[in-house]
Structure 1
Amino acid sequence: MKTSASTAVIMTLLATFFWGSNFQAAKIALSSNPPWTASFERFIIAVIGTFAILLLKEKVRWEILSRNLMPYIVLGVIGVAGFNGSLFVGLQTSSPITASLLMATTPISANIIEAIINRQVPATDRIVGMIISLFGVSLVITNGQILSGHIDFAPGDVIILAGSIGWAAYTVGTRAFVTDSTPLETTTWTMLFGTIALGLAAFAFESPVEAVVVGSGISFLAILWMGIAGSVLAYLFWNVGIAVRGPGKTSIFFNFVPVFALLIEVTMGTIPHLVQIIGIAITIFGVLVGQGRFSTWVSKTAS
């Protein structure tokens, strides 16, 4: 069944919601697990889930795997292992506020990478929308402190920035370098190779078996949520969005991740300040501008 553009938008929003929930879940998961091990556990669950869905809904097409083997491996290492590993490791010295701000630069990186590959300049609406939404996200995650122009960079900030660029490359690469692969196949194979890379890192830098044995039950439940909702469904929905609407239009929705993270914090009892609420409104407006919705509405109103 072919996915419509409107359905792809909804799925993309759900993907960003699931990723936004990962911040709260990660706090719980990391309470009794080191970063590489937590990421490895999460994606073991995710790989099992994606393969189960692949076997039920489609089938393993070995010719597609053979044709896209190198892109799957590279994108899995960059977009799964690199992105998630850099986030967890970077947060050891970086603050969540700065990390969210750096992650919010992903749409800009994705559009720059896409423009380089396609040798064309992004549409004006998309550029303006990215700038507006990035400013809105900055207000949300810094509680307005971005206006002072003072941001300190820790060593982890550089690691997280590299991870955000890796995710941008993944977003563009799944469309540019993967051929004849369904979103589910792309999700499954890139996640598998990313998980292998995470496993190698976990055993190289930590003691994952010991960490799993002594880990708490609540920590495991948090990892389970991150593995199913924050990985399987999020990656699958995101890749559907890329396949249907393109990487540029999809990537700008990544700015909703810190917004959803904040809204989840509200349900946990944290009340946002007025400047953060304004930032949420600006972010949504920026996404609409980037999708061309605002200019379309203005044109219809003018006519």
Structure 2
Amino acid sequence: MNLKLKNHWWAFSLPVIAVLIWSMNIAVTRYVADYISPVSISFYRWLIAFIILTPFMLVKAWKQRHLLRQYFFKFAVLSAFGMVLYQGLAYSASHYTTATNMGIINAFIPIFTIFVSMAILKEIPNRFAIIGSLLSFCGLLYVMGQGNFASLLQMGGHSGDIIMIIAVFFYAFYGVFLKKWQLKVPLLLSLYIQIGFALIYHLPFLLWFGLDAINVENAASVFYAGAFASLFAPLLWMMAVQYIGPNRTSIFMNLMPVFTAIIAYFWLKEAWTIYHSIGGVIILIGIVLAQKKVKAVEKLSPT
């Protein structure tokens, strides 16, 4: 075992880079909110990813079309929750909250996953999961209230955080459905088909809201989301799971709020305050506690 870890010490850098890319994408999402509509960047993101994957996946998809047809409905559901509802709401939330808060709320994916698993998979959380979840939720409320719980009564000022919470909740469903169905399809091929469904789902929204043009102000952000956040980071994450295992890999997701806050501080000039520090520590302690002796539910990476 020690020899294996020694030979693959570099593998521990893979999830770090993946989480860094995703954290950067949260900051990119906040930055580009002023230059392109949520539905437009969401559509372009998956269109770019689809174009990049097509030369490698189209022939494979055709050869395995009978297998893919068997999972048609499940691919449609996964795409709706993980790529349209989660990512679309995240882009919408970026108009009303900070990248720092988005990164912190994103850390709630494992907590929500535990309770969605309870409803769908009938997995009963233990006392550590319940206590940890409540502790993390208190930390989240503290951050949303900017250190003052009384300010939470003014819900209009927290619309972006609420939208992001809903987005993360949908992603928890995505992770649980993946676990429940265990599709016997190669990961990249599964990703390719889900992206195809995501593009179809966007069509009614594009007809209603229109499609913003790609220009010099948003082109780099759109390409980053489509290539790095949608393809490169998931590939690194899958490699990390292969080399060091899912449990060890999932721990690195706790770096996302930290990375996001640092990027937002230097790039977007967002302030890191004492309530971010206190609330962030409470949330992370709760997340770690919730994972104790809970082996059936693992953290899942964002798309």
TM-score range, shorter chain: 0.7 to 0.9
TM-score by length of 1: 0.72
Counterpart amino acid of residue 179 in structure 2: R
The alpha-carbon deviation at position 158 of structure 1 amounts to 5.5
Please state if 1:169 is matched with 2:173. Answer: yes
Instruction: Tell me, yes or no, if the aligned pair for 1:99 and 1:157 is still in contact at 8 Å.
Output: yes
The alpha-carbon deviation at position 29 of structure 1 amounts to 2.6
Structure 1 residues 25 and 69, CA gap change in structure 2 (3 angstroms): same
Structure 2 CA distance for aligned equivalents of residues 127 and 11 of structure 1: 31
Structure 1 residues 31 and 52, CA gap change in structure 2 (3 angstroms): farther
Please state if 1:107 is matched with 2:106. Answer: no
Counterpart amino acid of residue 272 in structure 2: P
Instruction: Tell me, yes or no, if the aligned pair for 2:42 and 2:88 is still in contact at 8 Å.
Output: yes
The alpha-carbon deviation at position 241 of structure 1 amounts to 7.9
- The residue number in structure 1 matching 2:301 is none
Structure 2 CA distance for aligned equivalents of residues 87 and 159 of structure 1: 7
The alpha-carbon deviation at position 73 of structure 1 amounts to 0.8
Q: Which moved more, 1:109-118 or 1:73-82?
A: 109-118
- The residue number in structure 1 matching 2:28 is 25
The alpha-carbon deviation at position 72 of structure 1 amounts to 0.6
Structure 1 CA distance for aligned equivalents of residues 37 and 103 of structure 2: 20
Structure 1 CA distance for aligned equivalents of residues 197 and 50 of structure 2: 9
The alpha-carbon deviation at position 180 of structure 1 amounts to 0.9
The one of 21, 35, 39 equivalent to 2:38 is: 35
Cα deviation code 1:139-174 (max 9, x no counterpart): 5x55x7245342233466654443222211111111
Please state if 1:47 is matched with 2:50. Answer: yes
- The residue number in structure 1 matching 2:297 is none
- The residue number in structure 2 matching 1:230 is 229
Please state if 1:190 is matched with 2:190. Answer: no
Q: Which moved more, 1:192-201 or 1:127-136?
A: 127-136
The alpha-carbon deviation at position 35 of structure 1 amounts to 1.6
Structure 1 residues 25 and 113, CA gap change in structure 2 (3 angstroms): same
Q: Which moved more, 1:260-269 or 1:162-171?
A: 260-269
TM-score by length of 2: 0.72
1:108-257 correspondence runs (5 A):
108-135=111-138, 141-142=143-144, 145-151=146-152, 152-154=154-156, 159-206=163-210, 208=211, 211-212=212-213, 215-236=214-235, 245=246, 250=250, 256-257=255-256
The one of 73, 76, 90 equivalent to 1:87 is: 90
Counterpart amino acid of residue 259 in structure 2: F
What SS is found at the alignment partner of 2:184? Answer: coil
- The residue number in structure 2 matching 1:272 is 272
Structure 1 residues 117 and 91, CA gap change in structure 2 (3 angstroms): same
- The RMSD of aligned alpha carbons is 4.0
- The residue number in structure 2 matching 1:299 is none
The alpha-carbon deviation at position 196 of structure 1 amounts to 2.2
> Which segments of 5 or more consecutive residues in structure 1 lack a partner in the other structure?
294-303
Cα deviation code 1:49-84 (max 9, x no counterpart): 344565799996323312211111111012101111
> Which segments of 5 or more consecutive residues in structure 2 lack a partner in the other structure?
294-303
- The residue number in structure 2 matching 1:296 is none
Structure 1 CA distance for aligned equivalents of residues 273 and 69 of structure 2: 52
Structure 2 CA distance for aligned equivalents of residues 125 and 10 of structure 1: 29
Structure 1 CA distance for aligned equivalents of residues 198 and 149 of structure 2: 39
Instruction: Tell me, yes or no, if the aligned pair for 2:75 and 2:194 is still in contact at 8 Å.
Output: yes
Q: Percent identity?
A: 20
What SS is found at the alignment partner of 2:151? Answer: coil
